[in-house]
Structure 1
Amino acid sequence: MTYIEAIIFGIVQGITEFLPISSTAHIIITEHLLGYHFPGLTFEIYLHLASVLAVIIYFRKDLINVVTGFFAYLINKSANHRTQFMFGIYILIATIITGTLGIVLKGVIQDAMKTPTFIGVSLMITGTFLIIIERFRQYGERRIENMTYLDSIIVGLGQTLAVLPGISRSGSTLVTGLWVGLSRDTAVRYSFLLAIPVILGSSVLVIGDLSNEMWSVIGLGPLIVSFVVTFIFSWIGIVWLIDFLKRSKLIYFAIYCFTVAILLILFMDPNVVMDI
């Protein structure tokens, strides 16, 4: 892999990771365009680690509050820390659901699913749910202190759908969070913090797949560059998305998903291209 290609992969992963447009889909599209094929999810998970590092640093105050509040409530049962304790519980519940179902579904997700048509259809599904939540569902007003166990279960189940290439993790957690009546700010914060244990857990599952072949094919230098670039653009993506959702609508991401899906099926699917 050249350094230019490493930068391209880093930009694509960083910008798309936290937008509701599926970073996995865009990485696979980039692989097709650049003529690469990375078996399994090892390289994607590697880049995801850079993205989660950006989340950890950006939301460090929130993380510290949740962690300290969680253990303070365990020790002292102080009412002042109950909200953060319960928020930590809700993060754990959604993570356990996603992790458990993810392990079960791991054997089902094959490279055969990384086709332009499959990804295109998945992007359309993502876009459809973004439209539904934007047009046919009023935003709720419930904040962290008003969350329930059922909220975390539903969001955890929604997040599990992101194991399918083309289904956005951030999109699925945002949509399900808004669907159960969380405020936009709460749904966004919950979505970002859920990314941390899910991505770190996914990394543990594939750590055995890291091989000398990956390091030799990609190269140490390009791997470092792609990681740094991913971190930088993930940070930019976080800041931009939070600002965007304060003043605009999810419908624009839905339009983007449908546009990319149609272009994928028309110009990258071998069967469609041959017919044309």
Structure 2
Amino acid sequence: MSWFESLVLGLVQGLTEFLPISSSAHLRLTAAFAGWNDPGAAFTAITQIGTESAVMIYFRKDIAQIVSTWSRSLFDRTLRADHNAQMGWLVIVGSIPIGVLGVTLKDQIEGPFRDLRLIATALVVMGIVLGIADRLAARDERGGRHRAARGRKVLKDLGARDGLIFGVCQAMALIPGVSRSGATISGGLLMGYTREAAARYSFLLAIPAVLASGLFELKDAAEVGQVSWGPTVFATIIAFGVGYAVIAWFMRFIATKSFMPFVVYRILLGVALYILIGMDALSPSAGEPTS
């Protein structure tokens, strides 16, 4: 991988990680359209350490309160009813599905799941799901009948059942094109949570899963030398800086705006991929994974 490729891919990772459009799909597509080798699942997982570091800094106060209260609640029963202590357990519970499936489906994630036809399908299907979820949320905000009497749920309403469902939604993002934030936010909106609550929990939930995945890939990469370390570290730093700016913008955006621009973008991109593949202008396996 060249330094220019790492610069571009780092920018793409930072720009797309927190938006509901799938960063892994965009890294794959950027390489395919540019005629580069597929950077691979290992590169994606490692550069995500950069974007998750941005999450940890942006939500540092929330994380500090959750970790501190949860740790103390292990020895102090009076703290176990505290919302921050419960959030600690909910993040753990929500991380189980992606942890189990990530290990179980490792070979598929690094191989068949990166087929551009599957990515195109995931972009379109999850785009439709996000659009439906967004419309339901908008209807509630206008005072429609769906949960209008008691309003949408916030993070203090989150329980083990909903936390596990969030986790299952996050696990779907193991397929490039689904989008971690897109799947979890869609799931949250369909369960009746506000946009802000769904997005906030989505970002908090991603931290242990992404860091564990990145560290796991770091270990494997160190053993078999499957990544170019200089460019990969450079891309991770770029992803961190750009990602922090994007997350700050996104949290302001969702407070008042609809997700429909992302829905339209996902569907158009997916359809464009279908057309290009159907016309033989793009191979479903364009770019061989970096070894």
- Tell me the CA shift for residue 80 of structure 1: 8.6
Q: Which moved more, 1:223-232 or 1:25-34?
A: 223-232
1:121 aligns with 121
Q: Secondary structure at the match of 2:21?
A: coil
In structure 2, give the amino acid aligned to 1:172: A
Three-state SS of the structure 1 residue aligned to 2:109 is: coil
Q: Find the aligned partners of 1:219 and 1:274 in 2 and give their Cα distance.
A: 32
Partner of 2:91 in structure 1? 91
Q: Shift of residue 100 of structure 1?
A: 1.2
Deviations 1:180-220 (A, max 9, x none): 222222111101111110101212432343046444xx352
Which residue, 253, 259, 276 being the options, matches 2:262? 253
**Residue type of the alignment partner of 2:56:** I
Q: Deviations over 1:121-178 (max 9, x none)?
A: 1100110111110124546522222211111111111111111111111111111112
If each structure's helix is expressed as a fraction of its own residues, which one has the higher value?
1
Counterpart of 2:184 in structure 1 is 173
Letter in 2 for 1:29: L
Q: How many residues align?
A: 270
Find the aligned partners of 2:234 and 2:87 in 1 and give their Cα distance. 35
Identify the residue that residue 51 of structure 1 maps to in structure 2. 51
Residue 81 (structure 1) shift = 6.2
Q: In structure 2, what is the Cα distance between the partners aligned to 1:187 and 1:16?
A: 18
Q: TM-score, normalised by structure 1?
A: 0.90
1:4 aligns with 2:29: no
Alignment gaps of 5+ in structure 2: 142-150, 283-291
TM-score by length of 2: 0.86
- Give the Å deviation of 1:26: 0.0
CA distance in 2, matches of 1:33, 1:274: 10
Counterpart CA distance in 1 for 2:210 and 2:175 is 15
In structure 2, how many angstroms separate the alpha carbons of the residues matched to 1:263 and 1:206?
A: 32
**Structure 1 regions of 5+ residues with no counterpart?**
none
- Which region of structure 1 is more displaced relative to structure 2, 257-266 or 206-215? 206-215
Query: Could you tell me the percent identity over the aligned residues?
Result: 31
Compared CA separation, residues 114 and 73, structure 1 to 2 (3 A): same
CA distance in 2, matches of 1:231, 1:225: 10
Asked if the contact 1:70–1:85 (Cα under 8 Å) also holds between the matched residues in 2, the reply is yes
Answering whether residue 248 of structure 2 is matched by residue 228 of structure 1, we say no
- Aligned to 1:166, the other structure's residue is in SS state coil
Deviations 1:40-63 (A, max 9, x none): 411111111111111111111110
- The answer to whether 1:185 aligns with 2:196 is yes
Counterpart residue number, 2:288: none
Distance in 2 (alpha carbons) for counterparts of 1:210 and 1:80 = 40
Partner of 1:22: 22
- Per-residue deviation, 1:250: 1.0
**Cα root mean square deviation, aligned:** 2.1
